[in-house]
């Protein structure tokens, strides 16, 4: 039967995360008081995934996917975070999920994504979050190459505004990066993804017992934005986020992270050595700001000293910023996705619920296929992985019952031209690439379980080669997923 561990986790969530529904009579006074303390602003509803129309994909995490979801009865649009119970249990991430839910419920700031409600089924946990139609800051950097100093100043100011609030309530985010900085339709910034958040001892956030039992120096975050003290196993401080802010401002202005290298190990060596070079086109103010945020001593970083955020806001780089009316000011113009279709209907184009795999028998074969309900290990693994970017545009390239294991917009590097293609790996297994604007199949890489006939060679964190006896194809993944592609392909070869 599907996932005993998942069922146990569901019971655990029911008992620990629905305290507000406990009866007032019977339990001890302490239990009643605790129940009142956790009367969630965002309730746990009895919804089903079938109550939503699923559209485009917003983002992908280690154990979750975020998809645009329109509630059928109200027409309201959410960013629905879908978390795989099996993976969460297997990887012992339960405490992180609980903590994120509790923290998001209590945070109240215009620069932080809001949690509206949660629900669950046999396979997945769901969080209905505020939808940020402007996408990730990362995408704006990629589309523009690099941001103007005026645009970077505005975005950095809005991040600082939200970070100051987060720190004031005793939380460390620990994963500030362009992928976790989302933009509303009018271009204002919101911090997302609190899966790595760390409450300090004097935090104002109310926590469930054992909500977070990790050690203070546990390594979390993303390699390119991790501060040196974390690599040296020092306890987390507010300075961790300020270091990541410095890396993010550098990336906004240059188009690349300051410590980028071919592997995580090399990135870490550069961080520890503070191997940092500033482009000539950086202004003196920008260079000085980043230099002070990337101080190797977390207590000396701008914003972490005795003058706190006041010193950070007064830096010359932010001259002209009205901190009191920041979110009332017009935001930088968004660069649109050149590969997006012109029809607004594309955002809500539905795709088969079999690709979510909610575990209900009534969903099996609802579209005339086995969908994500196959008993094979591959189908079980790809059930959630298929959400990575499975929208209506790619369904025509799949066979009935076939699901996506991994998908990315990549550059196909050629001698004369570099072309963007959608690279798709399925559980068939099948490896193809598609022209994303014309929606035409451009190539089918012949699959083989024999690594002599099909292999993948990683050259940097963003570049990789797919090698077959007849040709070698070079791809570049802007989101630095080269090693993930290697693991996904070799995983299917070795199953």
**Contact of 123 with 85, CB cutoff 8 Å:** yes
Percent of the chain, pLDDT > 70? 78
User: For residue 59, what pLDDT is reported?
Assistant: 72
User: For residue 332, what pLDDT is reported?
Assistant: 97
Average pLDDT (274-301) is 97
Model confidence at 382: pLDDT above 50: no
Residue 150 class from Cβ within 10 Å (0-12 exposed, 13-18 middle, 19+ buried)?
Answer: exposed
Model confidence at 26: pLDDT above 80: no
| 175 counts as catalytic | yes
Q: How far apart are CA 374 and CA 384, in angstroms?
A: 13
User: For residue 436, what pLDDT is reported?
Assistant: 87
pLDDT single digits (tens) 349-379: 444 444 444 433 333 332 333 333 333 333 3
Only one residue has tokens 């999920």, namely 97
- CA distances to 16, 114, 177, 215, 349 from 199, rounded to whole Å, are 19, 18, 19, 12, 39
Question: Which comes out higher in pLDDT, residue 57 or 223?
Answer: 223
Q: How far apart are CA 45 and CA 243, in angstroms?
A: 38
Q: How far apart are CA 206 and CA 102, in angstroms?
A: 8
User: For residue 12, what pLDDT is reported?
Assistant: 55
Model confidence at 241: pLDDT above 50: yes
List the Cα angle 417/484/272 in 5-degree steps: 95
**Contact of 425 with 405, CB cutoff 8 Å:** yes
**Other C-beta atoms within 10 Å of 389: how many?**
21
pLDDT single digits (tens) 305-325: 899 999 999 999 999 999 999
In SS3 terms, 34-54 reads as HHHHCCCCCCECCCCHHHEEE
User: For residue 495, what pLDDT is reported?
Assistant: 76
What is the four-CA torsion angle of 205, 198, 159, 80, rounded to 10 degrees? -80
**Other C-beta atoms within 10 Å of 313: how many?**
17
pLDDT single digits (tens) 437-449: 888 999 999 999 9
Q: How far apart are CA 32 and CA 24, in angstroms?
A: 6
Q: How far apart are CA 312 and CA 105, in angstroms?
A: 28
Tokens linked to 481: 């997923």
Question: Which comes out higher in pLDDT, residue 369 or 465?
Answer: 465
**Beta strand pairing call for 455-458 and 463-467:** antiparallel
- What is the DSSP code string of 294-307? T-SSGGGSTTTSTT
Q: How far apart are CA 217 and CA 233, in angstroms?
A: 5
Tokens linked to 401: 């019952």
**Model confidence band, residue 484 (pLDDT cutoffs 50, 70, 90):** confident
| pTM of the shown model | 0.71
- What is the DSSP code string of 276-291? ----TTS-HHHHHHHH
Question: Which comes out higher in pLDDT, residue 335 or 86?
Answer: 335
**Model confidence band, residue 95 (pLDDT cutoffs 50, 70, 90):** confident
User: For residue 91, what pLDDT is reported?
Assistant: 79
pLDDT single digits (tens) 127-146: 999 999 999 999 999 999 99
**Each residue of 195-204: b (16+ CB within 10 Å) or e?**
bbbbbbeeee
Average pLDDT (219-246) is 91
User: For residue 217, what pLDDT is reported?
Assistant: 52
Model confidence at 229: pLDDT above 60: yes
Q: Whole-number mean pLDDT of the chain?
A: 81
Q: How far apart are CA 313 and CA 322, in angstroms?
A: 10
User: For residue 356, what pLDDT is reported?
Assistant: 47
Model confidence at 481: pLDDT above 90: no
Q: How far apart are CA 383 and CA 372, in angstroms?
A: 5
User: For residue 213, what pLDDT is reported?
Assistant: 47
User: For residue 488, what pLDDT is reported?
Assistant: 87
Model confidence at 407: pLDDT above 90: no
User: For residue 175, what pLDDT is reported?
Assistant: 93
Question: Which comes out higher in pLDDT, residue 357 or 426?
Answer: 426
- What is the DSSP code string of 41-101? SS-B----GGGEEEEEEEEE-SSEEEEEEEETTT--EEEEEEEEHHHHHHTT-HHHHHHHH
**Model confidence band, residue 301 (pLDDT cutoffs 50, 70, 90):** very high
E strand or H helix at 126:
strand 124-129
Question: Which comes out higher in pLDDT, residue 259 or 484?
Answer: 259
Polymer length in residues for the chain = 495
Q: How far apart are CA 124 and CA 252, in angstroms?
A: 35
β partners of residue 259 = none
pLDDT single digits (tens) 99-115: 999 999 999 999 999 99
DSSP code, position 170: T
- What is the DSSP code string of 315-362? SGGGTT--STTGGGSPPPPPPPPTTS-S-GGGGG----GGGT----GG
Most confident of 27-36, 226-235, 340-349: 226-235
User: For residue 300, what pLDDT is reported?
Assistant: 96
**Model confidence band, residue 210 (pLDDT cutoffs 50, 70, 90):** low
Q: How far apart are CA 15 and CA 287, in angstroms?
A: 51
Residue 449 class from Cβ within 10 Å (0-12 exposed, 13-18 middle, 19+ buried)?
Answer: exposed
* Candidate list 175, 193, 241, 358, residue with the active-site label: 175
Question: Which of 41, 65, 46 has the alpha carbon at shortest distance from 55?
Answer: 65
User: For residue 2, what pLDDT is reported?
Assistant: 36
Tokens linked to 172: 């460390």
Model confidence at 402: pLDDT above 90: no
Average pLDDT (164-180) is 96
Q: How far apart are CA 265 and CA 77, in angstroms?
A: 41
């Amino acid at each position: 039967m599907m996932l005993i561990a998942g069922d146990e986790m569901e019971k655990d969530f029911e008992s620990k995360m629905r305290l507000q529904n406990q009866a007032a009579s019977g339990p001890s006074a302490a239990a009643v008081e605790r129940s009142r303390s956790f009367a969630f602003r965002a309730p746990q509803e009895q919804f089903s995934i079938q109550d939503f129309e699923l559209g485009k994909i917003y983002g992908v995490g280690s154990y979750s996917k975020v998809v645009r979801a329109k509630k059928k009865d109200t027409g309201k649009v959410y960013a629905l975070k879908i978390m795989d119970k099996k993976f969460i249990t297997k990887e012992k991430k339960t405490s992180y999920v609980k903590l994120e839910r509790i923290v998001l419920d209590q945070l109240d700031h215009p620069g932080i994504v809001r949690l509206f409600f949660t629900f669950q089924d046999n396979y997945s946990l769901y969080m209905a979050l505020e939808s940020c139609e402007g996408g990730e800051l990362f995408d704006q950097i990629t589309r523009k190459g690099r941001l103007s100093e005026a645009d970077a100043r505005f975005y950095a100011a809005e991040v600082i505004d939200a970070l100051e609030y987060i720190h004031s309530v005793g939380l460390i985010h620990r994963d500030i990066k362009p992928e976790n900085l989302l933009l509303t339709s009018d271009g204002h910034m919101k911090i997302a993804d609190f899966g790595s958040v760390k409450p300090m001892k004097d935090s104002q956030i109310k926590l469930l017992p054992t909500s977070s039992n990790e050690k203070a120096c546990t390594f979390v975050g993303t390699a390119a934005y991790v501060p040196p003290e974390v690599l040296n196993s020092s306890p987390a401080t507010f300075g961790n986020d300020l270091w990541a802010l410095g890396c993010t401002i550098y990336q906004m202005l240059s188009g690349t992270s300051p410590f980028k290298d071919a592997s995580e190990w090399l990135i870490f060596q550069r961080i520890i050595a503070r191997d940092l070079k500033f482009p000539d086109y950086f202004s003196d103010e920008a260079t000085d700001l980043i230099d002070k945020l990337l101080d190797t001593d977390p207590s000396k970083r701008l914003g972490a000293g005795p003058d706190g955020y006041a010193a950070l806001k007064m830096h010359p780089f932010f001259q002209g910023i009205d901190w009191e009316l920041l979110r009332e000011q017009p935001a930088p113009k968004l660069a649109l996705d050149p590969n997006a279709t012109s029809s607004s209907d594309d955002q809500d184009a539905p795709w088969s619920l079999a690709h979510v795999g909610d575990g209900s028998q009534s969903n099996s074969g609802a579209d005339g296929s086995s969908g994500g309900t196959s008993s094979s290990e591959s189908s079980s693994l790809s059930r959630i992985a298929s959400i990575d970017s499975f929208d209506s545009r790619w369904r025509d390239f799949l066979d009935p019952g076939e699901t996506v294991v991994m998908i990315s917009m990549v550059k196909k590097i050629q001698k004369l031209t570099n072309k963007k293609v959608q690279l798709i790996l399925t559980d068939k297994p099948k490896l193809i690439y598609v022209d994303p604007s014309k929606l035409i199949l451009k190539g089918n890489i012949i699959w083989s379980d024999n690594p002599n006939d099909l292999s993948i060679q990683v050259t940097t964190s963003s570049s990789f080669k797919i090698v077959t006896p007849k040709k070698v194809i070079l791809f570049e993944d802007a989101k630095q997923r080269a090693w993930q592609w290697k693991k996904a392909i070799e995983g299917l070869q070795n199953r």
